[in-house]
Structure formats: structure tokens, C-alpha cells
Amino acid sequence: MTGGRIIIVDPWNPDPGIMREAGALIRQGGLVAFPTETVYGLGANGMDPLAASKIFAAKGRPSDNPLILHFSSPEGPEHVAEVSQRARRLMDLFWPGPLTLVLPSRGTVPGEVTAGLSTVAVRMPSHPVAIALIDAAGVPVAAPSANSSGRPSPTEAESVAYDLGDGVDLILDGGPTSVGVESTVLDLTGERMVLLRPGGCPVEEIEERGGEEVLRSGGDGRRSPGTRYRHYAPSIPLLLDRREGVRQRALQFGTRIAWLGMEGPERVFREGEIEKKLTICFDSPENYARGLFHALRMLEVSGAHAIVAQWPPCEAGISLALRDRLERASLEDRRGKKEKESL
């Protein structure tokens, strides 16, 4: 099979023959990129250490960054994790969907997937193509986002091909994803539920329907992907409008500045300083999150010298995840991380 081959699939009714071919690739140790409701994933056999290692090589991903195991049924994780009553309740409430649970491992999952930890992250996606692929593979599918490490996550197949090229055996093109940011990650290994990464499942909804408070801090970030390294960053500087003096700092990079947000650039810039074709505005936090990564990829090749993004005005709902992604992708956050790593 030619590396990086793209097959267009019906996102609602994927062709069984195509899915059998993709599932066989997974079982044979290959890499298959596929759509989920959040972002595109780079899938491999989660029980095969060599296959999991290929994910890290293709992405340039640090090996101490654990992978999420994806299942096609809520019963699947029983074979790899200790599923508590609390975990089962959350699975019943939110699966399939953008919620990942970190649970005690039974010791059957390769260390390449768990990053050598005693925990394992599990999820059941809701996208029909993802479910069909996992069913056809017949094994848990380990899958991070299907992009080069540190880049904006891919929300369409073209971005996967651009980043990974021949590093992936097959790309299933199921169109754009619907959520646009990765799953929410909860640590359920202690007495309290702890948020490790905000994502597509709002924390408030988990608390309301689950009947239990979620701690927003204090978790062990090693147990979740997307929390300890530079992530989501475009190839040109991204600045946030919450920082004082952002207009002056942006213009130091050049005269062509792009704007991204829910309001227009006039909240920061003077009339005429931002070209209309370099302005992307969304009408809601949900659409901002859905379009964020695609917009960053569009603007980095637009000829702009830098991007200024609007900081979401509140942290309720999807806005908490949106804030997290913007902060990790921003120039200011990268500078801060470099300083911390040098200590």
C-alpha cells in the first residue's frame, strides 16, 4: 500500500470494505489516520508496542507522553483498566463522546502506550468512522492527534497529509471534525475527580450530570497527553489580546498582522491596520473552538507576519478548552515554558 494514501469515506455510513482494509492495517502494525468528533487521530494497535512506537516516530512525539486507547464499546476498557463504579457511571453518561478517563491499568497495556505509568487513558469516540475502524481492527486503537508534534491539531484530512505525508499508511478522509478541540481528560484514580485537560466535554456538564465536583487543578499532568509540552502552535507568532501592549508587540513582527476571535480587530488595532482577508471571526465560543486549528493553519500560510487572537471572555463551557489551547499555542506561553525548563 502506498504511504499516505487518502480514501474519502462517508462520515455517517463508512463503506465496510474500506473499513475492513483499514482495520487489517491496524492489526498488521500499520498507522491509519482517521476522523473523530474532536480532531483527526493517528491510530495504531494499542496492544502492539512496535506499532505504538511508530506513532511517536511519525509525529516526533516525546516517548514520555502517554497515548489514549480508543474503544468501540463502553465494555472494552474492562480488559485493560480497573473500571470503578464512578468510571462506569461517567461512561454511561458521556460515552460515546469527547471524554477521556484516566484509570488504574491492569498491566496488560504496553509501556509505550502508558509512558511507563501505572495508569491508562481510555475513550470511546462518537464518530461513526472511528467506531467502524475500531470494530474492524478488533483491538484497542491507540491514537493521539494526527499531526507533527507541537503543531495545531488537524481537523481535516488535508492537514494530516501536510504534516505526516508518507509517515502514515492510510488516511481516512471523513470531512471536517465537529468539535474541533481534543477530548476532556479526567483522572479518576484518586478520591476526587481531577481535570487534567479541558476539552470537548464541558466540566460543568460533567459536574451537573455526574453529581460530583471536578477539581480544576492538582492533577498529575504526566498522566494526560497535551499538558506538558509545546502544543498547537502555528509556524508564525501567535499573541493573545489579553496581554497589555499586544498591538505594539504584534507590529514589531511586521505590518501584516492577522486577527482571530469573536469580535473584530478594532478592539485592539486602529482602522486599516488589519486587512480584511487576514481577519477570521466566529459567532460563538463553540464555533471558535471548532475552527481554531484550521484558522491557525490558514493564517500561517497567508503571508501574515503574526497572529493576534482574542482571549475568550469567560471560561465556562467550551471556552475553558479554548483558553487552554490558545495559551499553549501562544508566543508568550512558549517563552514561559522555555524559562521553566531552564530552571
Residue 230: pLDDT over 90: no
Q: What is the pLDDT of residue 226?
A: 61
Same domain, 214 and 246: no
The pLDDT confidence band at residue 338, using thresholds 50, 70 and 90, is very low
Q: Name the pLDDT band for 341 (thresholds 50, 70, 90).
A: very low
Grid cell 501574515 is found at 304
What's the pLDDT score for residue 227? 65
Residue type, 167: G
Helix (H), strand (E) at residue 249: helix 246-251
Residue 316 maps to a domain: yes
Q: Are residues 274 and 135 in the same domain?
A: no
> Is 218 in the same domain as 264?
no
The answer on 96 and 70 residing in a single domain is yes
Domain co-membership, 168 together with 316? no
Kindly state whether residue 228 falls inside one of the protein's structural domains. Answer: no
> Before 96, cis peptide (omega within 30)?
yes
34: pLDDT strictly greater than 70: yes
The reply to whether 125 and 75 lie within a common domain is: yes
Residues 250, 309, single domain; the answer is yes
Q: Give the number of other Cβ atoms within 10 Å of residue 322's Cβ.
A: 26
Q: Where does a domain end: 223, 252, 280? A: 223
Q: Is the pLDDT of residue 58 over 70?
A: yes
Domain count, the chain: 2
Q: At what angle do helices 16-27 and 128-137 cross, to 10 degrees?
A: 50
* pLDDT exceeds cutoff 80 at 301: yes
97 and 12 together in one domain:
yes
* Same domain for 217 and 133: yes
Query: Same domain, yes or no, for 106 and 133?
Result: yes
Residues 30 and 64 reside in one and the same domain? yes
Distance in angstroms (rounded) separating the CA atoms of residues 17 and 22: 9
Q: Is residue 229 in some structural domain?
A: no
pLDDT at 334 exceeding the cut of 80? no
Q: Are 82 and 104 in contact, with CB atoms under 8 Å apart?
A: yes
Q: Retrieve residue 193's grid coordinates.
A: 475527580
Range of the domain at 319: 238-341
Average pLDDT, the chain: 93
pLDDT at residue number 217: 82
- Domain with residue 307: its CATH number is 3.40.50.11030
Residues 192 and 245 in one domain: no
CATH number at residue 127: 3.90.870.10
pLDDT digits (tens, 9 = 90+) for 133-179: 999 999 999 999 999 999 999 999 999 999 999 999 999 999 999 99
Average pLDDT over residues 87-91: 98
Check pLDDT > 90 for residue 231: no
Residue 264: Cβ-neighbour burial (10 angstroms; 0-12, 13-18, 19+): middle
The owner of cell 475513550 is: 123
Q: What is the pTM of this model?
A: 0.93
Lowest mean pLDDT among 11-25, 217-231, 261-275: 217-231
Residue 339 pLDDT exceeds 90 = no
Residue 229 is predicted with a pLDDT of 59
Share of residues in the chain with pLDDT > 90 (%): 88
pLDDT of residue 1 exceeding 60, the answer is no
Last residue of a domain, one of 223, 255, 270: 223
> Considering the domain boundaries, does residue 307 fall inside one?
yes
pLDDT value at position 331? 73
Q: What is the mean pLDDT of residues 282-297?
A: 98
* 230 assigned to some structural domain: no
Q: Say yes or no to pLDDT of 320 above 80.
A: yes
pLDDT in the model for residue 85:
97
Q: Tell me if 114 is assigned to some domain.
A: yes
